[in-house]
Structures are given as C-alpha cells and as structure tokens.
Structure 1
C-alpha cells in the first residue's frame, strides 16, 4: 500500500495535517519536485465532492487515451481558433527522442486578446530527412493542415529558428524556401543561438588550457566523495572560500563557460594548494598539467578575461530570454555590443565615426597598441600587480602581449 494512505484521522487539525502529509508523501513516492505542491493543492481543492471522486477510475491506459484522444484535440482546436483572429509567428526546431527518432517541433507565438504573449506547440512531426528540403516539406504539410482548418495563412507574419546552415543558410535553406513560398513572412534568426555561436567561434581564439582546466577540475570532483570531503574540509576551510561545487562545462552551451570560469576563479587559491598536494601523491601528467596551469598567474589573467567578455555576451543573451516582447530593443543592443567590443581593441576616433554594423575588425590601421587592448578590470589589476613584481622580467612582456593579442583576436572574431 502506498505510504500516502498510511495516516490516521481524528480532529480537524489532524485531518488538515493528514491531507498535507498525504500530498507531500505522494510527491516523494512519485519522485516529483516540491515546487508542484502549491499547484497540486489547488487542483485538489478544485475537485468535486467525494461521491463523484469515488466513482472515477483512472489507470495508465485510460489516462493516456484521455490525453491523446480528448485533451490534445480539444486544446489544438482552441489554438487554431486563436490563430484565426491573431497574427502569429512560427518557431521550429529539431529534436531526437529516446528512440533516436528525429522529430520537428513547430511552435507558434502570438498575442491574445488580453495582449499576453502565448507560445504553444502547433505540431510535433517525425522528420527523418534533416536537410533543408526535408524540414521545409514537413513545415509545409503542417501549414497546409492549418489552412484547411480555416486559419488564414496571411496571419502568419514571422518565422524563427536556430542558425544552422540547413535552417538559415543564404543559398539553400528553410529560410530561403520560406521566403520563396511565403514572401510576406519576416524571417528572423534566433538571437540566443546566434549569441552562443559568436561565443563558440570567438573562444577558439583563446588557449584551450582554460577549457581543459574547467573540465578537469569538475570531472575530478564530480564522482568522488573522498576528493570532495578532502577539498572542503582542508583547502576551502583553510583559504576561507565559499564551499561551492564546481560547474560542468556544457559542450553545446558555450555561454556556460562564464559561470564555470567564475567558479574556478573563486576557488583558485584553494585549487592551487589542493593540486600542489595532489601531485605529491599522484604525479601523473594530467595532474601536473593542472598544477602548472593553476600556478601560472597569466592563466588566471586569461580566466578573468573569459569571465568579463562572456559576461558581456551573457548580458546580451539574457535580454532575449525575457517573457516580454523585446524585439524593438534588438538593433540597439546589437549596436551596443559591437561598439563595446570594437572600443576594447580599436581606436575610439575610428569607432565613434563609423556605423557599428560597418566596423571593419580587420582594419589594422585603426587597432589600438597591443598594450592598450582592454581585458576587463580584474585581469588588468592582476596584470599591473605582476608588472610591479616582474618589472625587469622579459617573461612578463612576452606573456602580457600574448594575453592582449589573444583578447584582440577574440574581439575581432566576435565582431566579424
């Protein structure tokens, strides 16, 4: 018998506590998040009396059939009715389910009568052909079904997707095919995906050792409670840093690099001591490489630069994750980002006189001197401290120029 039924009931206070305990026990038994508790209680309160509930029967098969054959058609019909009277945009994306079947999700976005933005799933169709033609053919079938349901296709005013070649290529893509068949539709690239691609390409201009450091540190602690306890009890306590866990660097989420870099920088001194100790017990090449990276102050400067520059991209990216329509801010925000990156590596007299979209990042005549390339105030402060200690060292000059040139290469790639 489920644990949620193992409660006795006496007084009114106890009956109320029993209801709450049963709901919480249900969440625990079904491995559901506690955040559902508020909505679950509202659902229970909206239920009819016990007489009707005692007559209800619901198993897995019946629930599946109700969802597929009753609820899905009902809400799909309501969605089509909304599209008949409202302008809407279409957003598509590919996905692969657990059975490795490729599917195309077609979503619509529109403003309802109350001027609230609604985003709903219009269709989820299997699409074994991931080419531009295959994706477009499936989209046409969906829109033909929408037209047959009485929705005027002239209400379709916008199209958006990620920025892959199949979706947004300039020669043959879903974008070009949509513009050819539905010329009144405005095509817009996904700003969030575009921003992630900018970060992805620009980060290739930086040293791979920074990414390797984030991955190695996270993987080292992820599956070992022994390592975690030793690090927390000895090194984090000794250096008096927050006892935070390390974040994994997601290969498809380039902007997560900033959060990983920030956490590594927060724990840098503790990590340095930890790996100095670890190398004594396990002098492997991998551990020695991490130790050398952590003991190299110029690696720390570069990590500060990563934190700063990806912070600029993350701030830009966050704007377009708002639930409010912010399309009117896009041009201004793109110009601001281009202007910031250009000012960090090029002469202000040039940047201020050129349209941000016309800036030529390869115009070396208008480059700032290497020593003036901006790398963020934290990296700059650390570099100034290193210059004070190594004022006569030729190694400082070489490393300082390397860092600033890497930063310039990042800016050039990002602006391009």
Structure 2
C-alpha cells in the first residue's frame, strides 16, 4: 500500500531519483498543489525536502491558488446562486423523463438541446460551464419549472422557480460567468506543455489590474505598477471604491441592471452591487495573499524566455549562480557564461525555424 503521508511521499520521490541515478543535490525546484501534506509549513514534503536540499526553490501551483482564491471570493455572493447551479443539473440527472420534457420547451423556444452541466465539487472553477449552460437554457428552464410547480409542488421546484424568476439572480449569473472567465483564462494559460512559469508575475499583475479597475477609483491605481505595489493596495478601504454606477460587472449583467434600475427598488439594485463589490474585494485580497512571488527568482526565470535569450537582454548568467550558489561546484561559471552568450549568435535556421516565436514553439 502506498503511504500517503509526507514521509511516505518523500520516500517515493527519493526512490525515483535513486532509480534514475539523479543525485539529490541536483534537484533545485519543487512545485505542487497547496495541500498541507505537500506544502504545509511543518512536516510536509516541501519542508522535509528542504532539510535535505537547502537551496530548494518551492513554488505552489498557480492553478490551484487561483481556484482557491475564486472559491473564497464566491462565498461573498448569495448562497442561493450556487445552490441553483447545483440543484438544476441534479434535478435532471438520471431522469430521462424530465430531460425529454425539457426538450419540448427547448424546441418551442428554438434553443439547442444541450445537457445541463454539473459542477465538480473539487474543481470550483468548473462552475462557469454550469453557469453558462443555465444562462443558455434560461428561458426553457423557466417554462419547464413553471409547469413543474403546478404539476408537482415541492420545496425544490418552488425554490428553483423563484430563483429563476428573480431578474437579479440572472444578472448575478452573468456576473459570475464574467469573473470566472478571467480566472479560468488564467488557468488555461498555464495548462500548456511549453514552459510558462517565467510569465507568472506578468499574468498575476494583469489579472489583479483587471479586477482592481472594475471597482477602484483610477487615481488610486497605477496600471504600470509592479506586482509588489499592486499587492500593497488596501482594497478594504471603501473610500477608494467606485460608486455603484461605475462598478464594472460585465456587459450582460450591466444591461440587465440598467433595465432593473427603472423597475426595481433601489435597495435591491444596491444589494446587487454590494455583492459584486464584496466579491471583487475578496478575490483581490486572496490573490494578494496567495501569490507570494519572489521577485529575484522570477527575474532569473526570464532567462528561459526565447526573446530575452536571443536578444541578450540578460548579458550574463551570473544572477543564476548568485541565486543557486551550489551550481559553482557543478560547472565552470565562465564556460556557462560563454555558452549563454554564444546561443544568441546561432542561426535560427539551425533549429529549422525562421523566428524567435517559432523557436519557442519548437522548444515546447
């Protein structure tokens, strides 16, 4: 039986290194999801490994970090929204009769007969696909549950229909779709086979700027700021927030709100914006807290950017040896520097490509 403790996992890792004849002191990086057994401060795999490899660089999985950030921020939205997204697919799951009945309304409204999607409990960002599908089938679902409440009164049917009939819920679903698309795009970017770690600070800064611009007054922002400056913005200060009319909630949600402003009580409109504002505040706080990016390390990682390498924007690999001092005992520093500088002189056609962009794709 595989031992799932930190010590058991470490033994497996070290056994694999030994099997492939990789000396432990040649290992200098570890990345993983953020579970306690892997990344906890005490008695985790990374903590135990660091006792044997002092120079070890540990980077938590960016995809897992943004998943957690989004999950915590979403708790600021009304609970009935997540319930709606989980209850509707569950209602049709394993019920061909209900699915066939829904198809009649889909045909009547000329909506594609797509299946309702369920969100995975362990993959919170999968909720976007569920939200988008509900929005696509929204009118058909309203007709279906109107009939279901009449034919089969129940708390579940009543709850779902009441939620669907509330236009603010539809606006919030559109808001969820918009903000989840930002975090999902971030994840998708880093789920490629080519090395992208050196771009992480740029992508985190871009994502932070996107969220900040949506609810923080422009005079409190400097979009060219480095990540360190962005992490110091205190978004809990309400005086730096935009007023409701200027908070950006996505095009679809905005269109619904503009219509509701002429029909609904102002208290309900303000409640909607309060939920969106609280989401923005929390997701920025979570990103600021979770992405602890070592500037010196990520500056070194720029060496793997083909554009920087080919243009010799980094003229020497001295920074690498300064950061990973153990390398001085593994190779000749001057020879390594010579190789680094000479790579910029190699004709790209040597690699069968014509440009740096093609070289990057070729390397991946």
TM-score range, shorter chain: 0.7 to 0.9
Give the aligned partner of residue 243 of structure 2: 369
C-alpha distance in structure 1 between counterparts of 2:245 and 2:31, whole Å: 42
Q: Is the 8 A contact 2:10 2:49 kept in 1?
A: no
Normalising by structure 1, what TM-score? 0.64
Give the aligned partner of residue 141 of structure 2: 271
Q: Measure how far apart 1:218 and its partner are.
A: 0.6
Q: CA RMSD in A?
A: 1.9
Relative contact order higher in (CA < 8 Å, ≥ 6 apart): 2
SS in 2 for 1:352: coil
C-alpha distance in structure 2 between counterparts of 1:184 and 1:171, whole Å: 17
Say whether 1:323 aligns with 2:193. yes
Give the aligned partner of residue 357 of structure 1: 231
C-alpha distance in structure 2 between counterparts of 1:223 and 1:149, whole Å: 48
C-alpha distance in structure 2 between counterparts of 1:316 and 1:136, whole Å: 33
Q: Measure how far apart 1:140 and its partner are.
A: 4.3
- Of 63, 66, 75, 1:204 maps to 75
- Label 1:412 to 1:275 Cα distance change in 2 as closer, same or farther (>3 A): same
- Label 1:247 to 1:155 Cα distance change in 2 as closer, same or farther (>3 A): same
Q: Is the 8 A contact 2:32 2:38 kept in 1?
A: yes
1:122-161 equivalences in 2 (<5 Å): 126-128=2-4, 130=5, 135-136=6-7, 138-140=9-11, 142-143=13-14, 146-147=17-18, 150-161=21-32
C-alpha distance in structure 1 between counterparts of 2:140 and 2:19, whole Å: 65
Q: Is the 8 A contact 1:304 1:378 kept in 2?
A: yes
SS in 2 for 1:255: helix
Point out the structure with the larger helix share: 2
Q: Measure how far apart 1:399 and its partner are.
A: 1.6
- Label 1:141 to 1:264 Cα distance change in 2 as closer, same or farther (>3 A): closer
C-alpha distance in structure 2 between counterparts of 1:274 and 1:141, whole Å: 54
SS in 1 for 2:58: strand
C-alpha distance in structure 2 between counterparts of 1:145 and 1:366, whole Å: 53
The higher radius of gyration belongs to 1
Q: Measure how far apart 1:138 and its partner are.
A: 3.7
Gaps of at least 5 residues in structure 2 are 286-364
Give the aligned partner of residue 251 of structure 1: 121
SS in 2 for 1:160: strand
Gaps of at least 5 residues in structure 1 are 1-100, 102-125
Q: Is the 8 A contact 1:335 1:357 kept in 2?
A: no
Q: Which shifted more, 154-163 or 292-301?
A: 154-163
Say whether 1:292 aligns with 2:165. no
